[in-house]
Amino acid sequence: MTSDTVASVELRVDDLVATLWHAAGGLDPAAPIVLIGHGGGQHQAHPAVTGRARMCVEAGLNAAALDLPGHGSRPTSAGDSEFVAELQRRMKAAESVADLVAAHNSLLAGQAVPEWSALLDRLQRNECANVERVGFWGLSLGGALGLSLAAHEPRIAAAAVGLCGGDRLLELAGHVSATVQFVMQWDDEQVARADALALFDAIGSQHKTLHANPGRHLDVPIFEREAAVTFLARALASSEDDS
Amino acid sequence: MTSDTVASVELRVDDLVATLWHAAGGLDPAAPIVLIGHGGGQHQAHPAVTGRARMCVEAGLNAAALDLPGHGSRPTSAGDSEFVAELQRRMKAAESVADLVAAHNSLLAGQAVPEWSALLDRLQRNECANVERVGFWGLSLGGALGLSLAAHEPRIAAAAVGLCGGDRLLELAGHVSATVQFVMQWDDEQVARADALALFDAIGSQHKTLHANPGRHLDVPIFEREAAVTFLARALASSEDDS
């Protein structure tokens, strides 16, 4: 993606290819960087990702992303195919998909954590970014990744996440100390309301805030994208001691 | 209050005196107006009110406020004194104050509704403001007033409220159709978590959003003030059909 305001470059990270977005005028390695985790079935070049990357760059932040396992150009596993088949079966039968989605997303997120840590190492090695205080932005599968990464990776200082739940994330949440903005949908057919509230409650961070809106999984209001960028820019610019 | 950016004038509304805040350069009657409801024990000249009024004016909005019954220059009733005595007794005894506060705030809010409608009439009569789509901003007692007013007053189009609960508001909430941003504190000693969530759930508006933060009743983060102004300016500028 190259435009009047945003430029992107590819970075090799072990066997993977990441995207780094920065201002078209040139990369400022001192600007805070936000890692963007895509949703289930998406990838790093999906408009939902590139649109967020543009918003970050326009707010003075750099951004970077990888494909999650089984997504984009990466091979699909037998488990991925079984997941999709079972998901489609349950949706046709109008059965609950919450446990199934939570388990699969947590599995992929756990596999992805070392890959996104390697991305941070790569950015640091090439002096592409200040990786001491990094942001994360992602919902659903991307939200599961964000909380899993924040639980394992002290360089994540702020995470705009949400639309996720389940037992595995609930166990990890207590290990998160990054400032978190958590978005949930009040009538989410993929995450039970009580599960989302319990996950927010379990997040160990001193600074966390919950945004909830009516509607289903895909009905997150547009204004939450602006709210996420505002949150990330504020949290990465300060120590949050004054919030 | 007069400063480099904000001017205020007093308006007589029946037996009460209201404050109208506008840009120091002059009143623009076409700008949207926000009614600011003070908290328990405060009044229209309290810094928590004048600070919000300043934020509104700096965002291009006018603002107006009244004292609630028993507050500011208004006489205290026997019921008010009994409430304060019982509140202090329960706090000393570390007993729950939630039901007591909710009942008293709902009572005062109910008494205040016709007074704030009269304020809107007065603003309209004097062509001081566009009162077709009005905003409201208030927490705690001010939040109870905002929901009560929005339930009765079709001119309220957007309300940034919260820190309130209780059976009376729960009954009224279904009649609210204004766009609502509802703030709650996760560990509020004056409003049970479940009561705040139930009140948000009961709000009848098509467009509503919940913000929750850790901490007690008075610990609302500073950033929620910016979020409220952003919300009010956005909601009053549009029909919210695109949100």
Task: Please answer whether residues A177 and A207 qualify as being in contact, where contact means their C-beta atoms are separated by less than 8 angstroms.
Answer: no
Q: Looking at the 3D structure of chain B, how many domains does it have?
A: 1
A87 DSSP β-pair partners: none
Instruction: Please check whether residue B242 lies inside any domain of the structure.
Output: no
**Closest residue to B214, CB basis, from A208, A211, A242:** A208
Rounded-to-integer distance, Cα A83 and Cα A101, Å = 8
Specify the 3-state DSSP secondary structure of A3. coil
| Predicted local confidence at residue B240, as pLDDT | 46
Contact across the interface for B214 and A234, Cβ inside 8 Å = no
For A198-220, how does the pLDDT look when each residue is reduced to its tens digit (9 = 90+)? 999 999 999 999 999 999 999 99
Is position A54 within any domain? yes
Contact A61, A236 (CB under 8 A): yes
Task: Point out the least confidently predicted range of B18-32, B87-101, B228-242.
Answer: B228-242
Which chain B residue has the Cα nearest residue A187? B201
Per CB distance under 8 Å, which residues of A are interface residues toward B? 186, 197, 200-201, 206, 208-214, 221-223, 227, 234, 242-243
Q: For residues B98 and B191, is the Cβ–Cβ distance under 8 A? A: yes
Higher pLDDT, B151 or B239: B151
B33 near B129, Cβ under 8 Å? yes
Q: What is the token pair recorded at A217?
A: 């999984």
User: ipTM of this model?
Assistant: 0.90
Q: For residue A208, which residues of chain B lie inside 8 Å, CB to CB?
A: 213-214
Among A214, A227, A243, beta carbon nearest to B208: A214
How does residue B119 score in pLDDT terms, banded at 50, 70 and 90? very high
Cβ–Cβ of A211/B210 closer than 8 Å? yes
| Contact of B61 with B235, CB cutoff 8 Å | no
Residue B243 is given by DSSP the state: -
pLDDT at residue B234 above 60?
A: yes
Distance between B176 CA and the closest CA of chain A, angstroms: 15
Q: Are B38 and B48 in contact (CB under 8 A)?
A: yes
User: Which residues have C-beta within 8 Å of that of residue B122, sequence separation ≥ 6?
Assistant: B11, B12, B13, B18, B128
Q: Is residue A1 part of a domain?
A: no
Question: Which residues of chain A lie closer than 8 angstroms to B192, CB-CB?
Answer: none
What whole-number distance in Å separates Cα of residue A7 and Cα of residue A189? 37
Per the listing, tokens 């789509």 go with B133
pLDDT for the residue numbered B114? 98
Q: Do A221 and B210 touch (CB under 8 A)?
A: no
* Amino acid (1-letter code) at residue A11: L
Q: Tell me the C-alpha distance between A230 and A223, whole Å.
A: 11
- Give the residues of chain A that fall short of pLDDT 70: 1-3, 239-243
Residues in chain B whose Cβ is within 8 Å of chain A: 186, 197, 200-201, 206, 208-214, 221-223, 227, 234, 242-243
Q: Which residues, at least 6 apart from A87, have a Cβ–Cβ distance to it below 8 Å?
A: A97, A100, A101
CA nearest neighbour of A121 among A97, A153, A146:
A153
CB contact under 8 A, B208 and A211: no
Evaluated on CA atoms B227, B229, B235, B237, the torsion sign reads: negative
Q: Which domain holds residue A189?
A: 6-237
Residue A128 located in a structural domain: yes
pLDDT value of position A240: 46
Partner residues linked to A19 by β-bridges = A10, A65
Q: Which of B176, B186, B231 to mutate to test the interface with A (most CBs of A within 10 A)?
A: B186
CB contact under 8 Å between B212 and A221, yes or no, is no
pLDDT at B241 over 50: no
pLDDT for A128 equals 86
3-state SS, residue B56: helix
Of the partner residues B209, B242, B243, the one whose CB lies closest to the CB of residue A211: B209
pLDDT interval class at B3 (50, 70, 90)? low
CA separation for the pair B46, B57 (Å, rounded):
17
Please count the other Cβ atoms lying within 10 Å of the Cβ belonging to residue B114.
Answer: 13
Indicate yes or no: CB of B186 within 8 angstroms of CB of A197.
no
Residues of A in contact with B210 (CB under 8 A): 186, 210-213
Where would I find the beta strands (DSSP E) of A91-224? Answer: 130-138, 156-162, 179-185, 208-213
Report the CATH number at residue B105.
Answer: 3.40.50.1820
Give how far A219 is from chain B: nearest CA, Å. 10
Look up tokens 């079709």; give the residue.
Answer: B154
Indicate whether A107 belongs to any domain: yes
Query: Looking at the predicted structure, is the pLDDT value of residue B86 above 60?
Result: yes
In whole angstroms, what is the distance from residue B59 CA to residue A221 CA? 22
User: Is pLDDT at B96 greater than 80 in this prediction?
Assistant: yes
pLDDT at B31 over 60: yes
**pLDDT number for residue B108:** 97
State residue B199 phi and psi, 5-degree precision: -70, -45
Contact B212 A213 (CB under 8 A): no
DSSP-based helix, strand, coil % in chain B, nearest 5: 40, 25, 35
Model confidence band, residue B4 (pLDDT cutoffs 50, 70, 90): confident
Residues 6+ apart with CB under 8 A from A191: A98, A101, A102, A163, A164, A165, A166, A184, A185, A217
A120 found inside a domain: yes
How far is it, in rounded angstroms, from Cα A162 to Cα B59? 30
- Judged by CB atoms closer than 8 Å, whether chains meet at A210 and B209 is answered as no
The Cα B152–Cα B144 span in angstroms is 13
- Say if CB A125 and CB A19 are below 8 A apart: no
The answer to whether the Cβ–Cβ distance between B243 and A223 falls below 8 Å is yes
**CA–CA distance, A39 with A47 (Å, rounded to integer):** 11
Q: Are A222 and B209 inside 8 Å of each other by CB?
A: no
Q: How many CB atoms lie within 10 A of CB A113?
A: 17
**Which SS3 state, helix, strand or coil, does residue A6 take?**
strand
Domain membership of residue A34 (yes or no) is: yes
CB-CB contact of A136 with A149 (8 Å):
yes
Report percent pLDDT > 90 for chain B. 94
- B221 and A210 in contact by Cβ < 8 A? no
**Which chain B residues are Cβ-neighbours of A210 within 8 angstroms?**
186, 210-213
* Chain B residues within 8 A of A200 when measuring between CB atoms: 212
Give domain status of residue B1, yes or no: no
**Amino acid making up residue A43:** H
How many beta carbons lie within 10 A of that of residue A66, not counting itself?
Answer: 26
Q: Is the Cβ pair B234, A223 closer than 8 Å?
A: yes
Q: Do A213 and B213 touch (CB under 8 A)?
A: no
Q: What is the pLDDT of residue A1?
A: 53
For the stretch B135-180, pLDDT in tens is 999 999 999 999 999 999 999 999 999 999 999 999 999 999 999 9
User: DSSP strand E in chain B: where?
Assistant: 6-13, 16-23, 32-37, 62-65, 130-138, 156-162, 179-185, 208-213
The predicted model gives B62-79 an average pLDDT of: 96
pLDDT value for B156 = 98
